[in-house]
Amino acid sequence: MDSKREHTHHNLTMLTDFYELTMSNGYLANGKGDTVVYFDMFYRKKPDNGGFAIMAGLEQLIDYMKEITFTEEDIEYFRTLKMFDENFLEYLRNFRFSCDVWAVPEGTPIFPHEPIVTVRGPIIQAQFIETMVLLAINHQSLIATKANRISRAAEGRAISEFGARRAQGYDASIYGARAAIIGGCSSTSCTIAGRDFGIPVSGTMAHSWIQFFGDELEAFKTYARQYPDSCTLLIDTYNVMKSGLPNAIRAFDEELKPLGKRPVGVRIDSGDITYLSKKIRAKLDEAGYPDCKIVASNSLDENIIRDMLIQGAKVDCFGVGERLITAASDPVFGGVYKMSGVEDEFGNIHPRIKISENIEKLTIPCFKSVYRLFDRDSGKAIADVITLHDETIDDTKPYEIFDPDHTWKRKTVTNFIAKPLREKIFDNGECVYESPDIMSIQNYCREQVATLWDEVLRFENPHKYYVDLSPKLWNERQKLLSEFTKK
């Protein structure tokens, strides 16, 4: 399976906000185009007020960075706008991506304010890619986070992503399906995503199959004959208990049983699913099909699924569509891309900060690294620490962490392991990272989420997981704050 197969031939280089180009033209015209800068992508607010988010979308960002090329058609379009210097158009004609990029691997739990992508390179290049950095990571991280919430609510029951027809555009459908698998879904109904990414696909029939035949029993028997090894029947076209389920059982008896085959399941897409699932389970068991699964769909999300299971629903698998693929309850991830430093001709890094009346919009300056501290005995994550790029955390000694906004909140951690959270992705424009296959990313995500304490995993009022600054980085930020607030 070629996970790199393209579903579109569009050159995405031009998928950028126009101000990236106007600024770039200005940098070049003023002799600043090769100045090396640092940008960080991070997010501020966790979706659905949860305890964390899931990193996703890196593979598509890598593909984009590998292919940045301006065509003659692009150059001519810019020329017609009569805003850009010819020197700048020639620069674009010979554009070669040469940035260094660090990123958190896909499937990793991530927290507000920590840099999940850092770009170092010439200002024109580092600024130009802003839109695609945000687009790729924001969208898939949002969907992966929602899928993870839904999967955890299902308590080990399979979740199939059913949202292709509800997504905001075909790209959102395809990459949303990919992100849903990262977050924990077991399959997708989106066939092209199955082909392109090696994702398991699932699907049986629509109500139109039953309506076409007119006779429900004949529709079921025909389907059972056609797919004796994967027979799941949709039983709510007319009446679940009076006709749908009895006809399904009869089809199983008359078509599958003589072949020595077992049905896979029955699906319900309407009504009081919790109530119906209990009745269906009893009837299937009575008919000799205790292994026949009950599949439920119909505008589900993590809250509905959780309530259904609390109420004793006998559902084995859930098909989740619109509320997953659109992350309907909180549909904007809100990651941002901010400058954190400028490098002079001698290689010295001069930190940059953005200050706001809103403390949430205060940025963290400097070229940075990120560590996650794990308890050696339990394997659980204790906290993340953002440091200056050349700092290391010695996990053979006690280490004091503190809340960067409320510095009196301090804790000394011992018996821990400090692991760098990010990996080098590009070195001088050359990709030095190989993206894992999608199911490996899903397994990694599951393992990493398991390192979080149950209190962080709560859907409502989760415990705050701390992202702290090293003393050196905190001092650098305070120095800049003091400098700029005196002006």
Which tens digits make up the pLDDT trace of 227-251?
999 999 999 999 999 999 999 999 9
Quote the pLDDT of residue 109: 98
All structural domains of the chain with their residue ranges? 12-143+331-485, 204-293
More confident residue, 300 or 485: 300
Confidence band of 1 (pLDDT split at 50, 70, 90): very low
Reply yes or no on whether the pLDDT at 162 is more than 90.
Answer: yes
Reply yes or no on whether the pLDDT at 10 is more than 90.
Answer: no
> 158, 293 in Cβ contact below 8 A?
no
Reply yes or no on whether the pLDDT at 102 is more than 90.
Answer: yes
Percentage of the chain lying above the pLDDT 90 cut: 94
Taking all residues of the chain, what is their mean pLDDT, rounded to a whole number? 95
Reply yes or no on whether the pLDDT at 86 is more than 60.
Answer: yes
Reply yes or no on whether the pLDDT at 6 is more than 70.
Answer: no
> 97, 68 in Cβ contact below 8 A?
yes
DSSP 123-170: HHHHHHTHHHHHHHHHHHHHHHHHHHHHHHHTTT-EEEE--GGGSSSH
204-293 shares the fold of 12-143+331-485: no
Reply yes or no on whether the pLDDT at 9 is more than 70.
Answer: no
Helix (H, G, I), strand (E, B) or coil at 91: helix
Half-sphere exposure of 285 (CA within 13 A, CB side): 7
Reply yes or no on whether the pLDDT at 198 is more than 80.
Answer: yes
Query: Who's near 21: CB < 8 A, 6+ residues apart?
Result: 78, 84, 128
Indicate left, alpha or beta for 308 from its phi (over 0: left) and psi (-120 to 50: alpha): alpha
Confidence band of 487 (pLDDT split at 50, 70, 90): low
Quote the pLDDT of residue 486: 74
pLDDT, mean of residues 191-206: 94
Reply yes or no on whether the pLDDT at 7 is more than 80.
Answer: no
Please give the Cα distance from 438 to 423 (Å, whole number). Answer: 18
Quote the pLDDT of residue 458: 96
Quote the pLDDT of residue 3: 45
- Angle formed by the axes of helices 130-153 and 438-449, nearest 10°: 60
Quote the pLDDT of residue 57: 98
More confident residue, 359 or 156: 156
Which tens digits make up the pLDDT trace of 414-459?
999 999 999 999 999 999 999 999 999 999 999 999 999 999 999 9
Indicate left, alpha or beta for 333 from its phi (over 0: left) and psi (-120 to 50: alpha): alpha
Confidence band of 18 (pLDDT split at 50, 70, 90): very high
Confidence band of 409 (pLDDT split at 50, 70, 90): very high
Q: At which residue do the structure tokens 């209190």 appear?
A: 455
Which tens digits make up the pLDDT trace of 247-264?
999 999 999 999 999 999
Structure tokens that stand for 390 in this block: 């050349």
Helix (H, G, I), strand (E, B) or coil at 383: strand
Helix (H, G, I), strand (E, B) or coil at 484: helix
Q: Which fold has domain 12-143+331-485?
A: nicotinate phosphoribosyltransferase (3.20.140)
pLDDT, mean of residues 109-130: 97
Confidence band of 360 (pLDDT split at 50, 70, 90): confident
CATH 3.20.20.70 describes domain 204-293: yes
Q: Which of 360, 404, 398 is nearest to 385 (CA)?
A: 404
